A and B are shown apart, each in its own frame.
Chain A
């Protein structure tokens, strides 16, 4: 392969890989926006839905892409359940660490539950189209990866429209910008938080289907996924749907290029190194408006 073919292949891989991180990061971003915590269980929840997708295929024979219609409403309902079941009391406390620790507990619980139910060995969803491959211009694109990208973009568009065009979405955006004033305007903070959780976990459902079709997965994979979503979120800038998606894709670029040119084992160190640099020197992210959030508040 010539140098250009390699670079274009790496670019395509980055975009296809990164979109999954991006969609997980959008969920994190929404929950962070209203709850002011990083929902550390996000990756584990994604893997949980990957297993659900796997079960739907093996037990009921439902096609993974068709199962989205089942998985996403289920995921949204579970998200609301999470909020009203375990986060509601902690959400009103000033100490954010309590909510953060509940998320850690949830992660621990789900990870080990999956270990018991599905055993720790890796699983993969295999269908007729798993091996389909496109070969445009000498590069290779797997059908499932392309579908994952399409899913990610579609999910981002749906969330974007929801946030911009509906009353509930406006309430979520308002709470992200200024929780206190939002409460004073008569918007129920519990409802807003529950919606954020519904969307966040719903996105985790979508990502779960994407992950199930592309990767082989096991329960412990979830935390790594959370970390990658977190890096994407920091790269993209918190509180910005497209920023989070782009952050994921940037992370995809960092990972594929560094693993090709530097070596596979160093990928984590490099992506975390860039993460540290970004949160230290550009806390608004690569795509966020300069001095967002805090300065905004002062202006108002």
Chain B
């Protein structure tokens, strides 16, 4: 990675350790950040070894972890545009759906003549097409709309796309959708590996974007758009890049979900839940933090899993109540809670 000219502010309380100098390029500048990185790496290794001592095929945990990793991907996408760039997008379902539809259409129409099932090319295309869509709808929406209006604009665009998905029956299969050949399914293991890899990639993607010049520009836009523009930040261009990045991750998540469900239709993939879930996870975890969405995804995933087992159909009520309670009592999310605790410790 090239050094992008962002000079690191020396951390007074946590002085840099000399042998870490080469590592400072990826953000390890103090003892505390080294510890965080270490914990992250250990947790990642633990997750990577799960299939060796746990049968992910016959254990509910395998399914749970797959869906959590999928949530992390889409949540990091929303985190990038809303948490870091400050533009609330409510069109996540459109990109998620487009990712899934891209996978389904390429597979069923035999377009790329490759393996299709966990094929890197198909997965990449499922991420790239949402980028194209994000640029097409992002230019008019982001250049004209701000704040709430941008949220409603993306919501409207998502709804229009859902209508297209239902109406262009000869391509998308209408309301019934596309049925993918489920006979290729052999084991849950590839799902686990790929989703873990993608979730790690999504987190790293957002992390490195935020450490770059681009990330600095996005934060500046979030804090004060006018001021950012007057300091020479090309506001529209950076907003579109963030929007496209978010669409890319949503498309990847949609691709994985299509592989999982073997079904692509508006009810499954363009559902309004795909707008609400990422928002819920990011906000619960902590908006604009890198580990917030990860924590939020694990928490919400566990809530849904236990809720659907023990509470049956009443569990979405609990979800709604939880959103209200979290927002009321800890608007900073789980990461905000951590900050509060540390702040209190320092005071005493």
Q: Name A residues whose Cβ lies closer than 8 Å to a Cβ of B.
A: 37-38, 86, 89-90, 93, 95-98, 100-102, 104-113, 115-116, 223, 227, 230-231, 234, 265-266, 268-269, 272-273, 275-276, 279-281, 283
Question: Would you call A234 and B327 a contact (CB within 8 A)?
Answer: no
By a CB distance below 8 angstroms, the chain B residues around A111 are 316, 320
Question: Would you call A268 and B331 a contact (CB within 8 A)?
Answer: no
Question: Would you call B327 and A90 a contact (CB within 8 A)?
Answer: yes
Q: Which of B131-154 contact A (CB under 8 A)?
A: 140-141, 144-145, 147-149, 151-153
Q: Quick check: is B12 within 8 A (CB to CB) of the other chain?
A: no
Q: Quick check: is B32 within 8 A (CB to CB) of the other chain?
A: no
Q: With A105-B324, A280-B140 in contact, is A95–B331 under 8 Å at CB?
A: yes
Question: Would you call B144 and A104 a contact (CB within 8 A)?
Answer: no
Q: Which chain B residue lies CB-closest to A274?
A: B156
Q: Contact string, B205-220, partner A, CB cutoff 8 A, digits 1/0?
A: 0000000000000000
A115–B287 CA distance with the chains assembled, in angstroms: 31
Q: Quick check: is B200 within 8 A (CB to CB) of the other chain?
A: no
Question: Would you call B166 and A101 a contact (CB within 8 A)?
Answer: no
A-B pairs with the 4 shortest C-beta distances?
A: A109-B320, A105-B323, A108-B320, A269-B163
Count: A-B pairs, CB below 8 Å: 113
Within the complex, what minimum Cβ distance (angstroms) separates B82 from chain A? 8
User: Is the contact region of chain B dominated by helix, strand, or loop, or is it mixed?
Assistant: helix
Question: Would you call A107 and B145 a contact (CB within 8 A)?
Answer: no
Question: Would you call A268 and B163 a contact (CB within 8 A)?
Answer: yes
Within the complex, what minimum Cβ distance (angstroms) separates B195 from chain A? 26
- Interchain residue pairs with CB less than 8 A apart (28): A89-B329, A97-B82, A97-B283, A98-B331, A101-B283, A104-B279, A107-B320, A108-B316, A108-B323, A109-B321, A109-B323, A111-B320, A112-B314, A112-B320, A115-B313, A115-B316, A231-B156, A234-B152, A268-B159, A268-B163, A269-B164, A272-B156, A272-B160, A272-B163, A276-B153, A276-B156, A279-B153, A280-B140
Q: Quick check: is B157 within 8 A (CB to CB) of the other chain?
A: yes
Size category of the binding interface on chain B: 35 or more
A109–B322 CA distance with the chains assembled, in angstroms: 9
User: Is the contact region of chain A dominated by helix, strand, or loop, or is it mixed?
Assistant: helix
Q: Contact string, B308-334, partner A, CB cutoff 8 A, digits 1/0?
A: 000001101101111110011101000
Question: Would you call B313 and A98 a contact (CB within 8 A)?
Answer: no
By a CB distance below 8 angstroms, the chain B residues around A115 are 313, 316
By a CB distance below 8 angstroms, the chain A residues around B20 are none
